[in-house]
Structure 1
Amino acid sequence: MSFILVINGQFCGDSKLCKCAIPDRSFMNFLGVLLFPFTFLYDLITRLRNYLYDTGYKRSFEFQTNVISVGNLSVGGTGKSPMVEYIIRLLRNRKLVTLSRGYGRQSRGFRIATEEDTPKTIGDEPYLFYKKFDHVYVTVGEQRAVAIPFILAELPDTEVIILDDAYQHRPVKPSLNILLTDYTKPFFEDHILPTGRLRESRKGAKRADIIVVTKCPENPDVHRYDLQIKKYNPTAHIAFSSIAYLPPQRISGTRDFCQNVFLVTGIANPRSLKEHIEANYRLIGEHYFKDHHDYTEKDVRLIKKEFEAKAKDVACVLTTEKDMVKLHPLLKKGEFSGLPVFYLPIETVFVNGGKRFDEMVLNSIRSYSD
């Protein structure tokens, strides 16, 4: 049995689509009261941890290389992977290494990605970086402060290490700290887990050098967000970005892409993706899996069955780039090879403050390397 629960407008849960309604306000208020003791305890623990680092009782290490951290205060998707890819493209002339925890992988310890690796051995996002960027070394390690010395020893020419999802990893002091927050659920309107989605207090935003409001609409309310964010960090540069959806690319089948789309995805927050598809294509069906879902042949058979039941006219299956790297090996098998599956590439684009963002990233590198 599988389910999807929608809390605060977010999709979460397991594989099969369930068109659930957002719980009413009275229920959410009751839930907030019920969870308050746990929220208070979690907040206390994270505040104490941050206090120990801020006052020097616990040490943060600096390294003889450029370290750029990209992360967020909340759980769920804020566009970290597209932002890491943006920085990789910006620094394409530098010798780059990405370092991720490798969430969901079945290996442990420090690891440099090779051709033998899969999403199971290094994690979804690192595997995607490895497949997309030939000039970048992709590494994983749970303890970033332990992994960085290994990187510098094994890859001594490294100029820049990009830390993926490391805002709360206080043992490493980055040379540039980039905080992301979703336009539709900004950190200044959110609450500590488990009542809300924040991993730490809103005050944690003060550590950021740059704060990027991601997934913005065409005309974001820049003034309002500036005012709210500056309450927590008056000195950080504030930029606004959105997701650019590129033309769909074929994974399997021989059919050209068409307007009738059956959406399949396993990402943390598919809301903006679904909105884009509904605005540009005809959505005939959808199937959501949990974030970082490990696809199986059984899953593909289920997708095929549901797609064929919905596809009364010419239609295609559409998925994300992150899902594509896990579905592709399964779709090579004979029984699925004819299934018309496409993926939708995405890129980060800035709608406000992008020039200064680029300057700050480039200047942080020159101050260490030149």
Structure 2
Amino acid sequence: MNNEIRLNEGLAPVAFLYGIGVGFRNLLFNWGILTSKSYPIPLICVGNLTVGGTGKTPHVEYLIRLLKKSYRVAVLSRGYKRKSKGFILAGEGSRYPDLGDEPFQIWQKFPDILVAVDANRRRGIERLLALPEERRPQVILLDDAFQHRYVSPSLNIVLTDYHRLYYEDRLFPVGLLREPASSIRRTDIVVVTKCEKDLKPIEYRIIEKNMALFAHQQLFFSRIAYKKLQPVFPDECVPRKQAAIQKEESVLLVSGIANPLPLVAEVKKRARKVKVMNFADHHSFDKRDIEKIIQAYDAMGSSNKILLVTEKDAARLKENKYLPEKYRRVLYYLPITIDFHLDRTSDFDMAILRHVQSFPEKQSEV
């Protein structure tokens, strides 16, 4: 059903010691020696059990679209690989080095919500709740905070990649698990992400059986949906007749994400000639990287070609000083969103909305 998961069995002793440390830390929280703090507003955590690559950002963006029509929404992230320290609230003049690429991407797409970063989630929440009442959030989305147990979310959503399901994985560094698979018991909703479009009914049943979730836990399946091609620099791009990749186009696909394989497969469906350049997740493109990209692009013989990046990489490249104007004109990205399998979009939406609605209307008394 799934691709075979690569495991580093030779590092089993290290994973054993790591597991002891993680398990002891969780016990300290379970026993109340280390304390989790709750807050009087909906705190919805979107996290995972593994090290990156499960699709948190598009799921956070889905929740933003669902909630911002009726509530003042804030997203609080650690701001991975940002250059700043402490609490930062996105605003005019914010740059991706201040926020990190994913929070910066979210803030650019949703300037009407609050986006903040702080490695100390308690402090971040309290700074958001200290804002004037007219700006104070009514719902806070915690990005990648499942392991940050000093905060007690009111709703936990855990994502697991269909191609690397958590119950088939092992603790880091043998596998990619941050904590034991048994930690799934702390969540309220599990979403199997990046599913194939044509999953068979038996595959749903096998996954559900293997997870053996509690009665109160809900299980959903989602897949990536690719939207229309977008220019990274709209004011400079070459006008296109079609907002889609054409079969006759040559594409240089550059990615700096944890798992580019679904995107590569999608682009190869659309274009006959695709060259791929992969970089590490959250990669910051320096002068040498840009020179390599330009060299690879120029080496593609066709005059009908584009330079394609991921949406996350587009956020970083917008401020890249090494990218010449000539290449900015042909630089595009494919926005992504998610769809739920089994016609369960309304079920997922209702689960989220009911949870938020279960809190008192007056959430300003904090």
Q: State TM-score, norm by structure 2.
A: 0.89
2:226 alignment counterpart: 245
SS of the equivalent of 1:125 reads: helix
2:34 alignment counterpart: 58
Encode CA deviations 1:65-96: one digit per residue, 9 max, x unaligned: 11000000001210000000000001022101
State the alpha-carbon separation in 2 of the partners of residues 75 and 152 from structure 1.
30
Whether 1:305 aligns to 2:295 is yes
1:25 alignment counterpart: none
CA RMSD of aligned residues (A): 2.0
User: How much does 1:260 deviate?
Assistant: 2.1
Q: Which amino acid aligns with 1:65?
A: I
1:4 alignment counterpart: none
1:161-200 superposed matches below 5 A: 161-200=140-179
Aligned residue pairs: how many?
A: 343
User: How much does 1:331 deviate?
Assistant: 7.5
8 Å Cα contact 1:77-1:267 kept in structure 2: yes
State the alpha-carbon separation in 2 of the partners of residues 309 and 155 from structure 1.
55
User: How much does 1:234 deviate?
Assistant: 4.6
2:87 alignment counterpart: 110
8 Å Cα contact 1:304-1:339 kept in structure 2: no
2:312 alignment counterpart: 322
**Identical-pair percentage:** 37
1:75 alignment counterpart: 51
User: How much does 1:297 deviate?
Assistant: 3.8
Whether 1:268 aligns to 2:258 is yes
State the alpha-carbon separation in 2 of the partners of residues 255 and 301 from structure 1.
25
Deviates further, 282-291 or 92-101 = 282-291
User: How much does 1:110 deviate?
Assistant: 0.9
User: How much does 1:237 deviate?
Assistant: 0.3
Whether 1:143 aligns to 2:120 is yes
Aligned in 2, Cα 1:312/1:333: closer, same or farther, shift over 3 Å?
closer
User: Which structure 1 residue ranges, 4+ long, deviate > 6 Å from structure 2?
Assistant: none
SS of the equivalent of 1:184 reads: helix
Aligned in 2, Cα 1:274/1:233: closer, same or farther, shift over 3 Å?
farther
Q: State TM-score, norm by structure 1.
A: 0.88
User: How much does 1:199 deviate?
Assistant: 0.1
SS of the equivalent of 1:52 reads: helix
SS of the equivalent of 1:193 reads: coil
State the alpha-carbon separation in 1 of the partners of residues 297 and 104 from structure 2.
27
Encode CA deviations 1:291-330: one digit per residue, 9 max, x unaligned: 1111234322321110110243411111111111111233
Where structure 2 has 5 or more consecutive residues not aligned to the other structure, the ranges are 362-366
Where structure 1 has 5 or more consecutive residues not aligned to the other structure, the ranges are 1-7, 11-21, 23-27
User: How much does 1:334 deviate?
Assistant: 4.9
Deviates further, 108-117 or 256-265 = 256-265
Deviates further, 106-115 or 244-253 = 244-253
Aligned in 2, Cα 1:78/1:155: closer, same or farther, shift over 3 Å?
farther
SS of the equivalent of 1:206 reads: helix
1:119 alignment counterpart: 96
Equivalent residue for 1:134, pick from 104, 107, 111: 111
